[in-house]
Amino acid sequence: MNPEPLSTPRHRVLSLLLVASLCGGATVACNPEYDLSGKTSADAGDDTGDAGGTSNGSNATGGATGTGNGTAGTTGATSTGGTTGGTTGATTGTTGGTTGGTTGGTTGGTTAGTTNGTTGGCMPSPEVCDGEDNDCDDQIDEEGASLLSSCTPLPGAVADMCDAGVCVYTCADGLFDANADLGDPDGDGCECTSNSEEVCDGLDNDCDGVTDEESDTLLGGCEARDGATAVSCADGACQYACADGRVDLNGDLGQANSDGCECLLSGDDVCDGSDNDCDGLVDEESDALLEACGGRAGASAVACTDGGCEYACSGGRVDVNADLSDPDGDGCECTVSPEVCDGADNNCDGEVDEQNDVLLSSCGGVAGAEAQSCEAGACVYACVAERFDIDMDLEDGVAGSGCECVAGEPGCDSCDFVEGCEPGTPDDYDYSVPGSHLTAIAMSFDGQEGADLDGDGQPDNALGPLISGLFDLTGNNININRIIELGVDSDQIAIGLSWPTLQGATQDASGVTIDLFELVSQGGRAWLVTEDSFLPDSQTPRRRFQNATITDGRVRATGGSFQISVPEQTFPLSLSLYGVEMEADLSDDAAGIAMSNGYIAGGLPVQEFFDTFNTFLLSPACSCVDLDGPLFDLSQGINGGACTQSPDTSSCSGEVGGACAALVDGCVFFVPILGGQADLDLDGDGFEDAYSTYLTISAEGANLIGAQ
């Protein structure tokens, strides 16, 4: 008998019955695909097994014929929880053939029956990639949820198909299998993490299977080191070499956190706290070291300390302003010599032109005159007895003719305004020359209007804003310009000028002399000159501009002095200006020379201004204040004065006006304002000692008729 094909309906039923029998067991999980009874495993245990049939085994191809009859199966016992119902019937026939033989027994029981003969069926399980039909569906390695999940996980790789029972992997994005072992379950998967440029780090950055191979990018990732360049890569570490002129003193170039080739070879050692010659020593002593310090005026380098050159003055030189250690200083600027009248500190004692016999002996000889004092670096002369300065050039010093007229000598009585060569007096001045009278004088308070007195290209006018601020501080509402205006209108402020060498108001000229006077009105445009306007026992004015120029009708004069005094009953401010310059447009009028669009500018010494406030604010209005000396003292401060004491003002509250009380109480604020505004250096010692002042002026012609 030929074997029946396994694909016949009967065999498929037998296979299903076999699966049903297996699913009733206690240890096999039942696949619902094969649950033919429609009952739970608990129900299957209650079924009674059918009697086993008798059957002769069929002959399989190439197999022997099975003999014997199968014994009937016994009744299946009830089993709780899905145990096997029915016991396996005994099989007397032998299996016919190894592969295609049919079961020679009888299946006992419908759900969990008994198999007679030997088993030739399939045990179902999840399908995996192994070339087998794991789930008994007659398909091998078909796609399903379980197929690839069984593949061995490999680093950086994903199993994405099964080929002939073998898992096939693909590298994840950005990962690479440099050593080509991705198909090996024991391999390292996609071990190369980046397809980047190769750098020196012991890794295969470009995933070509070679580590740290030579390339344009290999050294690009090397850490930058001062004064050094990466030149090669060894064992995953960058190798460096010092650049030209650089030295690795501490030998850490190849170490982590290296400071590189830290020494810059710059030549011989100089005094700067650095190892310039890269020998491991800093500022080692040598002649070259001190020579490199460079020179300072009148000094030489003697030592190097803490990276700085120390200097000493050369013979006969003194560092008066103590700036020898300052690179921007002027060194030992003073050469010791006898003091002379020149506006300099010749004997290097910190004082300029201090008055003494040695100083005056330095003044050059002037015929018939002796040096009496030194003012602003110039010798001031006076005629000796019986000698007179007829041509009024004594102020020219050695450049003039001196006191050329000698009493009793021939020709002396020919002097046109001296009779018998008597000593000169203000009456001897020539009042017939053109004159002017200032009809308007005003101070500018905003600081924007001024003359460039210090040569910096900016207008200078510190006094106006200073006075305005002081009055605000003390609560005074004083209008200085109104006071000056009233003083001019009432002739209490009367200032005049004479022009002894003027040829005409509109004629260009140089070397013009201008004398300044205080006047006394005689009515109309007639004026007398006060005796105080002249030097003692002389016809020489105290204040004079020399070498003035007139161009296109505008006069410019420099180098003189100017004074204006406000009447005492109002605000006794006395302005004595030095280093004065004056400009104005000139025109002729019936009485003399008229002036318009003019100004007078100069420096008011700080101490003189202090003296004014000490006088005005503390006496007599502040007589109740207990002071042993002046409230404001220039010598107590640095370029600006200081309050010399803290006065008790408790007794002043009912006895003085608000000006005194406010000023005294606010002394600490008042003094910095005073000092902070000084902006001119009159004596040339490098410190500002005066307030720049700017006054606008105009004038009408005046008849100067004599001395008072």
Tell me the per-residue pLDDT of 245-287, one tens digit each, with 9 for 90 and over. Answer: 889 988 898 888 898 998 888 778 888 888 888 888 888 888 7
Q: 32-46, 288-302, 619-633 — which is least confidently predicted?
A: 32-46
Contacts within 8 Å (CB) and 24+ apart, 532-539: 533/426, 534/425, 534/426, 534/429, 534/707, 535/382, 537/423, 537/424, 537/425, 538/382, 538/383, 538/389, 538/424, 538/425, 538/426, 539/392, 539/424, 539/425, 539/426, 539/427, 539/428, 539/429
**Choice between 603 and 619, residue whose per-residue pLDDT is larger:** 603
Helices (H) and strands (E) in the chain, counts: 9, 25
Query: Strand, coil or helix: what is 402?
Result: coil
At residue 483, φ and ψ (nearest 5 deg) are -65, -45
pLDDT, one tens digit per residue, over 86-134 is 333 333 333 333 333 333 333 333 333 334 333 457 899 999 998 898 9
User: DSSP letter string over 659-688?
Assistant: HHHHHHHTHHHHHHHHHHT--B-SSSSSS-
Both structure tokens of 169: 């992997």
Reported as a single tens digit per residue, the pLDDT across 550-579 is 999 999 999 878 888 876 555 566 778 888
Residue 141's pLDDT is 86
> Residue 530 has what pLDDT?
94
Q: What is the pLDDT of residue 628?
A: 53
Token pair of 242 as six digits:
């010092």
Q: Is 373 a residue whose pLDDT tops 50?
A: yes
Per-residue pLDDT of 403-459, as tens digits, reads 877 765 544 544 433 443 444 578 888 899 999 999 999 988 876 788 998 888 889
Q: How confident is the model at residue 338 (pLDDT cuts 50, 70, 90)?
A: confident
Can you tell me whether residue 609 is helix, strand or coil? helix
Residues 32-60 have pLDDT tens digits of: 443 333 333 333 333 333 333 333 333 33
This prediction has a pTM of 0.42
What value does the CA radius of gyration of the chain take, rounded to a whole number of Å? 61
pLDDT in tens, 463-477: 888 877 766 655 566
Q: Poorest-confidence range of 178-182, 253-257, 317-321?
A: 178-182
What are the C-alpha distances in Å from 320 to residues 316, 336, 342, 635, 690? 12, 10, 17, 18, 22
**Where is pLDDT greater, at 664 or 343?**
343
Burial class, 395, CB count within 10 angstroms (exposed 0-12 / middle 13-18 / buried 19+): middle
Beta strands in 468-542 (DSSP E): 495-498, 509-521, 526-529
Mean pLDDT of the chain: 74
